[in-house]
Each structure stands twice: as structure tokens, then as C-alpha cells.
A and B are shown apart, each in its own frame.
Chain A
Amino acid sequence: MHFSAYMVNNITMIKNKENIIEVKDLVKKFGNFYANDHLTFEVKKGEIFGFLGANGAGKTTAIRILSGLSYPTSGDVMVAGFDVYKEREKVKKNIGYMSQKFSLYEDLTVKENIRFYGGIYGLSNKYIKEKTESMLERLKMKDIQHSLIGSLPLGWKQKIAFSVAIFHNPKIVFLDEPTGGVDPITRRDFWEMIYEASNNGITVFVTTHYMDEAEYCDRVSIMDRGKIEGLDTPGGLKKRFKSNNMDEVFLKIAR
């Protein structure tokens, strides 16, 4: 396998690619409070897009809108080529979602969890069977396929949860703090899985509190009080805010 030949420059490649998420003037109001105050951005196909911000900056609200869980107050939002106002069901079919809190059923086995989620997305039994095999192979978890999820270490659960979130080959996967509390090596394994998914054309939309992880993203948006205050490659942001690392960038924006 030789990606290198055509993956010479990830960034320029992405620039030429189609937009998978397009958000224009997105507003979400709760009473008089602007949780999302005129957000405008787009995410390219296959991009790893970091969505950062302080607690309460409006990240969760925006993710809920993008994943079709709530309606915007106003603005245009297209996800995976569908309008979130009119085609919510199609949006949902084409995205995957994983969060730190909700991942898998603790009292089902690894295999049962996979089967269940495959079933939700209406995949054929044959597909589920084959994909489960290759997935367990990739995760090196064949031996534990009949173990209850609850008995596994957190890092393993999170890896399985991610694999399950992309099981139906979604166009976009939303990851809400996927690596919280996970040990550093597993965290890196996890990011390698993210890279791999992105390489296979899945767009990754990720939030994190680990600032070093922001550097792994192709582009990063930083929100503060409902607005996007910075959106660029990590390098671009560091340059603009005259900072050595993303931690400093974040502090300059959010403080």
C-alpha cells in the first residue's frame, strides 16, 4: 500500500475536496441567550476537524444541531449533503456518533453490541458478520468478543465504541471527548484509528480537552461564548496568536 504517492500534501488535497459540512450563519438561541452566535464554517471530506472551546462555549449545542438532534434557530446547515431542517433522517443515516459518556451497553458482550448497532442502521446480516470479523481482527480483540463490555478497561471500550460508530461507514463521525481519562498509550492508539478512518475518507469531527490532541487535527476551530474566534490549521493558529503551542492559543482566546 502506498498512500504517499497521492497523499503528498494532506492539506492541499483537502482544499480541493468537496465540503461535507457547510454551516452558514447558524444561530441557536435559548431565550435571550445565544448558545451559537452566527457560526459559519465548512468541513471538507476526509478532514479531521477539531472543535474546541471552553465548557459552556456552545460546542455541544452545535454538535447536537449538526447531528440532527436539535433544530437551529436560524441559518443554513448542510451535513453530508443534506439539509438538517428537512432531511434529518438522511443526515442521521450518514453520520456516526460517539461520546465519552454514552458508548456501549455494559451488560452486552462485544459482539452483541456490534450486532445491535449494525441492526439499528439496517445493515445486512452478511455485512455485519464480515465487518465484525475484520473489525475484531483490526482491534486484536478476537479473544474477547464474548466478554461483557462492562468487564473491559476503559481504553478498550473507547476503541470498540469508535469502531462501532464507524461500523456503518458513515460520511462523518462526531467524537465528543473520546479520549477522556484514557491512558496515554491507548490515547495514541485511538488517534491512529482516527487517522486511519480519515484516510478511508471518513470525516472526523472531534472535541477534546487535551490540547496536544488539537495538534493532530487538520484544522481546528476554537469557540468562545457562542462564537468561533479562531479557525485554521494548528500551525496557522499558532502563527496568528503568536504562540508556541495550542495550549497558549486556547488560553489567549478563551481567557
Chain B
Amino acid sequence: MIKQTKHIIKVNQLRKSYEKVEAVKGVSFSVSNGELFGLIGPDGAGKTSIFRILTTLMFPTDGNVSMMDLDVVKDYRFIRNNLGYMPQRFSLYQDLSVEENLAFFARIFGTTIEENYDLIKDIYIQIEPFKKRLAGQLSGGMKQKLALSCALIHSPEILILDEPTTGVDAVSRKEFWEMLIRLKEKGITILVSTPYMDEANMCDRVALIQNGEIMSIDTPAKIIDDFGRKLWAVKSDNIYQLILDLKKMESVDTVFPFGEYLHITSKADEFNEERLISDLEKVGHSNIRIQQIKANIEDCFMQLMQ
């Protein structure tokens, strides 16, 4: 699976406090060479703070962080040279054209577009027809591709992407993840954050983070295995009423809408499915369907949150 086991990013008991709040509360994780690692959690979980410390833009309040075996506080200059970074809502220079943006970032990293063209070719080729267009006039998906090209132009060892897919439509998101997986195959270590739980499945390993604390770190498959409870999907013709009625039931533990179904757990970890159906029919539900299902990352996240 992972060719080398060497840890290229090591974070140990990292804390970060701002004036009033503690944004990161003792977080530890490490990322292996060539790994695609996801930091998954909602806004305000502390993802951006962690990334800014990793990219040497902020000091940690406490704890040790090393990148490529170098300390983020002392050796920040060297780290910066070998890092590709796409900040959250990174918008490039809106008044420069596609080509000018890319050329500028190549220049400041002391390289040229031609030198590392191979690396960005797959991505850049899609926006090349618009290279004279100002970045401000690109669609969301194209901006994202340009931003990624700019972050890659100096052939960094580590790529850090802070919520690259937030606010982007499902198609562009899918395309973006496909690009990341191709980059991973080229040996680049990628650290990416996202609030979209379903994107966890694209990562080698993920850390689920909430309120400045990591709740779980593992491969997506292992996290799902660790759910450790039985889960059912239920639906009827009146979903809202179904939520209300299920929440009233003694035996039911959690009720969460999930697509067209509700995902429910039982306090006893067991349901008599027929009994449940008849109980629901009694209060007027029709077309009731229930089946036991496997949890997904979002189920796990919600369970860990409670």
C-alpha cells in the first residue's frame, strides 16, 4: 500500500490558542510519505489553524510539529521552499490572466512553467484554452484548477490544501479529487481538509476533527468498522412525521435523516423490524421500509460527536 513508512509530517500534542478561544486542543497525528491524508470536520473545528501552523504561517502555542523532519518554528525557511499551499478561499490574482498568474507563481519560486510542466500538465491542459482570460472571470471549477496548478508549479514535496472543494459543485469536486489521486500517484504527499464527509473515502487515511480535537484517525474502512453498532435505514411516505414519531419511541436511540432514508440506532442495539413497522402503521405511516445497513463516515462522525 504505502511504499515508505517514513513520516513526512509529524504533529505531537499541538495546541493553538487565540485571545479568547482554544482552537486546537492537543492534536497529534502523522502523515506518511506519499500519503493522501484528509482532515475532515465542520467549520470551526480547527482545520485552518492546524494548516497555518504546518505551513509555518503561525506559531503553535504548544506542542511539536515537524515537516520533512524539520521544525516548523526554527526551519521555516527550508520548509517553505518545499511546500505547495492552497489557502482556504484562495482566489489568486483576479486581475491577472490565467497565464500571468501561473507565470508569477513559477517566478517567485525561482522556476518556470516549462520546467515543471509535466506535473501540472493534466490539470493545466483543461484551462489552457482560457489562458488569456482574467482569473476573476473563470468559473469556480476552473479557478480551482488554476489554483492547484499554481500550488504545484514548483514541484513541492508536500501539498497542503485547505478546503479546496468548499462551495464547489459536485461535478467539480469529483474532478478535483480525481486530480489529487493522480498527483498522489506521482509521489506527492497531500494533506487536505474538507467539511464534506463523503470525500473521506477518497483519502488513504483521515482524521475526524471537531472542536479542536481529533475524534478518530484511521483508514476510512477501519473507521467504518469501528462504528460498532447496528444501523438501520427507514423510510415511509411522510418523512418528517416519521422523524417525530421515531424520536418518541422508547426503543429508538438516534434518528438522523440521510438522503431519502432515516438512519436510526436502537438503545438495545436490536430491532424487531416487524414490530417497528406495525407500530408505525398504527400511527398512520404507509409504505414503510426498513433494512439494516452499513454505516458510512458521516454516521461515524455523528456518533463520535455525541
What is A's interface to B at a CB cutoff of 8 Å? 2-5, 7-11, 53-57, 100, 153-155, 177, 180-186, 188, 191-192, 195-196, 198-199, 209-212, 215-216, 234-235, 245-247, 250-251, 254-255
Contact = CB atoms under 8 A, between A and B. Distances in A.
A246 B174 CA distance: 14
B243 A155 contact: no
18 contacts: A4-B284, A4-B285, A9-B238, A10-B238, A54-B172, A55-B139, A55-B168, A155-B42, A181-B42, A183-B301, A184-B42, A196-B240, A198-B240, A209-B196, A215-B259, A216-B259, A251-B171, A254-B169
Contacts of B238: 3-4, 7-10
Interface string B38-50: 0001111100000
Contact of B305 (A54, A180, A185, A250): A185
Nearest to B284: A4
Contacts of A183: 41-42, 45, 210, 301, 305
A144 to B, nearest CB: 16
A180 B172 contact: no
B239 A195 contact: yes
Interface string B168-194: 111111100000000000000000000
B109 interface: no
Interface string B236-275: 0111110101000000000011111000000000000000
Contacts of A215: 259-260
- Among A4, A57, A153, find the residue whose CB has the most chain B CB atoms closer than 10 A: A4
Interface in B115-144: 139-141
A255 B283 CA distance: 43
A85 B36 CA distance: 52
Interface size class of B (residues with CB under 8 A): 35 or more
Contacts of A153: 44
Nearest to B43: A181
B290 interface: no
Nearest to A198: B240
Nearest to A233: B260
B278 interface: no
Contacts, number: 121
Contact of B257 (A53, A188, A211, A250): A188
A60 to B, nearest CB: 12
A155 B195 CA distance: 13
B100 interface: no
Nearest to B243: A192
A254 B302 CA distance: 30
A210 B302 CA distance: 16
B286 interface: yes
Contact of B171 (A2, A192, A246, A250): A250
Q: Which of A2, A55, A57, A234 has the most CB of B within 10 A?
A: A55
Interface string B282-306: 0111100000000000100110011
Nearest to A211: B170
A138 B195 CA distance: 27
B31 to A, nearest CB: 23
A7 B241 contact: yes
A210 B305 CA distance: 20
A54 B54 CA distance: 33
In order of increasing CB-CB distance, the 6 nearest A-B pairs are A4-B284, A183-B42, A55-B140, A215-B259, A181-B43, A195-B240
Contact of B140 (A56, A195, A216, A255): A56
Nearest to A186: B42
B236 to A, nearest CB: 10
A211 B243 CA distance: 20
A245 B167 CA distance: 20
**Residue from the set A11, A184, A216, A250 with the largest chain B CB neighbour count within 10 Å:** A184
